[in-house]
Chain A
């Protein structure tokens, strides 16, 4: 095969190698993600309802205005923020503790670890349905537990706004804590043993060992876990929809639920697109800020 001529050579030319390697990935993402994104981004500038036959009317920021001035959206963002903060917060703390538990080698570790990882492998829908059962006032385990041991009455967790929020946060945190745990555990496991040995020679206290050796290694992974989980939790839909349907009232109506309702219940299609992009904008800003701060911290250390 003659290497120095022909299409293959043009393809493999060192100058182009970088772009060529990236090309397939970019193509797929372009087709599947970015083009539809652009489409619906465009749609957000029109007035369009999917349940009528009327053609979309170009209307600049009409949809955005509508969305931003309606009472709902700020409340919804607030609700979403509470759920995200609550769930990710719990995941961080619990995930870290669980990781500490599994950091050393002990008999049966591999199997026990699988038990703790199992929740992550269930589908959102499954978790939602069964937690709904748990929270059920008549048959649910939670209520029966409260009935037998605390009050004598049925306990309806999801009837109050606070209760509903807690119910959602609890279920979501339960499902995804293993993810954080796994990442933190991987960090704990990667600390070079020599450092702990030197610490023994130096007669370091347990606390100092943790803050000087362990935590720095874990920190970056913990932050990565938080980043991913936050991005995913902001979109939360399945769990909330099935568990509380946004209720009671709109107490647990997250952005994900609101967008769904706007698009498929009220058929205000362009509004829903606008909502989505406002959310996207918010998340992009927050994420960039987050990554920026991380980069700053890292360069400070140097």
Chain B
């Protein structure tokens, strides 16, 4: 039974507060992703869990034990570093086996484990090479392999896929997810790539400037963002977030005014909003459908730019000074200059107040 729990964890480097009062919980079998832009404090948080940084204040529990004063080596963790940190003088096999030496296993047992891990991560052919002879993807796998060869309390991964190309990343994502679910240990992954987070995590914590913006399941992070930052950070192409005013409120139907356009949106429940106050409205590019006529419940505009996205296109639609983007299929045969009407799909519109917090009825 191994959980990781952080209580009011803070880390300050002089005047700079890198991690600000963070509290998180990771249960056994859970994979928590710390997601956020560079400099948001996610790596620092991970390193504090590992014991590589000392916390300024707060507590860290691993397996229900307060580990604040424990050295790294006593915390019984495994970690895969962002820059691999493979020992240059050892072969891949020796690198993999390294963590096992402290466990006093016999040579055969060590050999067996090496082969096991090598098979899982397809490292068999390169087992006798040195790190400087490996390709990036291979190095990455060895770093992961060195972490999973042990049986620690929990796993820590620091940007495990950031150095790989797109294809390799896809491959590895799947592999790692499989490996992690087999191992059933509490895991924390740090990444700035939302796709990684969305596919590998069971829980995502979005961080910004040392603070936790939101902790939810991947689905909820996407479908129910708590503020404009999370809403804009998650999902590609980025969500359209537009300033608007409320012109009319009719129980669950709110008429908003975005620049010159007035659109009626049915939020399905009544929200506590005030007329004439300014708000933000968030609609993902994929949340629009094209309709024929310009009625009250849709936006209209002229296509200004079409971006090619393979089988789909991203249209930039402009109406006066208002621009929003929408993903559509090619079948519509849209051209620049066309006038189209885009209706937001039901339930996929988000309303945020002036300070960016979501307005929702839970």
Contact = CB atoms under 8 A, between A and B. Distances in A.
Per the CB under 8 Å rule, do A and B touch in the complex? Answer: yes
Interface string B125-168: 00000100100000000000010000000000000000000000
Interface string A169-181: 0000000000000
Given A197-B52, A302-B133, A203 B89 contact: no
A202 B90 contact: no
Interface in A199-234: 200-205, 208, 212-213, 216
Given A200-B52, A201-B50, A301-B130, A194 B85 contact: yes
A55 interface: no
Given A212-B90, A216-B88, A302-B133, A201 B99 contact: yes
> Which 4 A-B pairs have CB atoms at the shortest separation, nearest pair first?
A203-B102, A198-B85, A194-B85, A200-B72
Contacts of B89: 212-213, 216
B73 A203 contact: yes
B133 A195 contact: no
Given A202-B98, A202-B102, A194 B81 contact: yes
B126 to A, nearest CB: 15
A198 B71 contact: no
A244 to B, nearest CB: 44
Interface string B339-355: 00000000000000000
Interface in B216-245: none
Given A200-B72, A202-B98, A203-B99, A195 B52 contact: no
Contacts of A202: 98-99, 101-102, 146
Contacts of B130: 301-302
Interface in B56-106: 71-73, 77-79, 81, 83, 85-90, 98-99, 101-102
A200 B53 CA distance: 12
Contact of A201 (B78, B86, B87, B90): B78
Contacts, number: 55
A216 B94 CA distance: 15
B48 to A, nearest CB: 13
Given A194-B85, A202-B99, A203-B102, 10 more contacts: A192-B85, A197-B72, A198-B86, A198-B87, A201-B72, A204-B102, A205-B102, A208-B101, A212-B98, A213-B87
Nearest to B77: A201
A212 B87 contact: yes
Interface string B36-58: 00000000000000111000000
B69 to A, nearest CB: 15
Interface of A: 192, 194-195, 197-198, 200-205, 208, 212-213, 216, 301-302
A174 B86 CA distance: 38
A206 to B, nearest CB: 11
Contacts of A204: 98, 101-102
A197 B85 contact: yes
Contacts of A301: 130
Main secondary structure of the interface of A (DSSP, over half): helix
Contact of A195 (B51, B71, B77, B85): B85
Nearest to B97: A202
Contacts of A192: 83, 85
A72 to B, nearest CB: 47
A190 to B, nearest CB: 12
Contacts of B86: 198
Residue with the greatest number of chain B CB neighbours at <10 A, chosen from A194, A198, A201, A301: A201
26 contacts: A192-B83, A192-B85, A194-B81, A195-B85, A195-B87, A197-B50, A197-B81, A198-B85, A198-B86, A198-B87, A200-B72, A201-B73, A201-B79, A201-B99, A202-B99, A202-B101, A202-B102, A203-B99, A204-B98, A204-B102, A205-B101, A208-B101, A212-B87, A212-B98, A216-B88, A302-B130
A212 B87 CA distance: 7
A50 B124 CA distance: 74
A222 to B, nearest CB: 15
Contacts of A195: 85, 87
Contacts of A216: 88-89
A202 B78 CA distance: 8
Interface string B268-294: 000000000000000000000000000
A63 B126 CA distance: 61
Nearest to A219: B89
B301 to A, nearest CB: 51
A175 B133 CA distance: 42
Contact of B71 (A200, A205, A302): A200
A195 B52 CA distance: 12
A300 B316 CA distance: 59
Nearest to A216: B89
Contacts of A208: 101
A205 B85 CA distance: 17
Residue with the greatest number of chain A CB neighbours at <10 A, chosen from B78, B85, B89: B85
A191 to B, nearest CB: 10
Contacts of B88: 216
Contacts of A200: 51-52, 71-73
A204 B89 CA distance: 15
A203 B52 CA distance: 13
A302 to B, nearest CB: 7
A203 B79 CA distance: 12
A212 B90 CA distance: 7
A208 B90 CA distance: 12
A212 B98 CA distance: 10
Residue with the greatest number of chain A CB neighbours at <10 A, chosen from B52, B87, B102: B87
Contacts of A203: 73, 99, 102
Contacts of B99: 201-203
Contacts of A205: 101-102
B83 A194 contact: yes
